[in-house]
Amino acid sequence: MQITAALGGVVALLYTARNYRLARHGQVTDRFTKALERLDSEQMYVRLGGVVALKQIVQDSPGQAPQAALVLNAFIRDRAPRTQPKQRPASKGELGAAALRTALEQTTRRREIPLGMPEIDEIPEADVQAALTALTCPASRLHADRTQPISLEYLHLKGADLCNADLTGAVLCGADLTHAVLGGADLRDANFSSAVLVGTILSDARLYGAAFHDAILTGADFHSANLAGADFDGAIDLHRTEPPVTHPNALGVDILAWRGSSGGIG
């Protein structure tokens, strides 16, 4: 009799646990669906609510975190202006020329906007910034699928606040990060090839193995950044009149000395 009662208790407990898991899964699915609906709204405050809801799903529901992160990344790519047309991939030389033109415009403060094209904001719109924060904050990356790196290439992200963000392995090729703040960010193995980093704050950032091929780095601040293994092949500083020189700092990390520029590495 006691064995039968014990078995009955175990079965009841398992049944309750199963029902709880099913109910919780249903709640998460419902939250996910509602968040997606909000992201498609024409109202800014509604979209912001959708971003906040997805951020909570990423942090509270490990099983749904990779899917929620993919949605946040897709939302950013859909909402942020692009730095070049989508039609075809540009060659390495074309990307370098495009980055140079953009940096020259930033340096001279001349901005020629084609007829019919909207003015590019000096900072991302509120929903894009909220999505960037939700996607890249360290708590959100705990359950992320590391085989799916964050994809922000060829986006206008001028003035974006990515301080202390986790952008490990992120793809930022051709992105405009003028005056963006990435201080203290984790940028290990990130790809900044042909990106524009005019006046970008990268102080105290972890940049082990990051690639800056053909990037524009005028006035970029790398103070106390860890650049072990970072690749600056072809990187340009428009204020520099001599080729960059590499030298080891006190920690034995190879860094670039940008001569004649303000806020550079020294």
For 185-225, how does the pLDDT look when each residue is reduced to its tens digit (9 = 90+)? 999 999 999 999 999 999 999 999 999 999 999 999 999 99
CB atoms within 10 A of CB 110: 8
- Reported as a pLDDT band with limits 50, 70 and 90, residue 260 is very low
Q: What is the DSSP string of 142-184?
A: TT--TTS--B-TTBB-TT-B-TT-B-TT-B-TT-B-TT-B-TT
The pLDDT assigned to 261 comes to: 39
Structure tokens at 218: 């005028």
Beta-bridged to residue 186, according to DSSP, are 166, 206
For 158-191, how does the pLDDT look when each residue is reduced to its tens digit (9 = 90+)? 999 999 999 999 999 999 999 999 999 999 999 9
The pLDDT assigned to 77 comes to: 97
Of 192, 216, 212, residue with least CA distance to 255: 212
The pLDDT assigned to 3 comes to: 60
- For residue 255, the SS3 value is strand
Yes or no: say if 128 and 161 are a contact pair by the CB < 8 Å rule.
no
Q: What is the pTM of this model?
A: 0.72
Mean pLDDT along residues 123-135: 96
Q: Any idea what DSSP says for residue 7?
A: H
- For residue 236, the SS3 value is strand
What is the pLDDT of the chain when averaged over all its residues?
Answer: 78
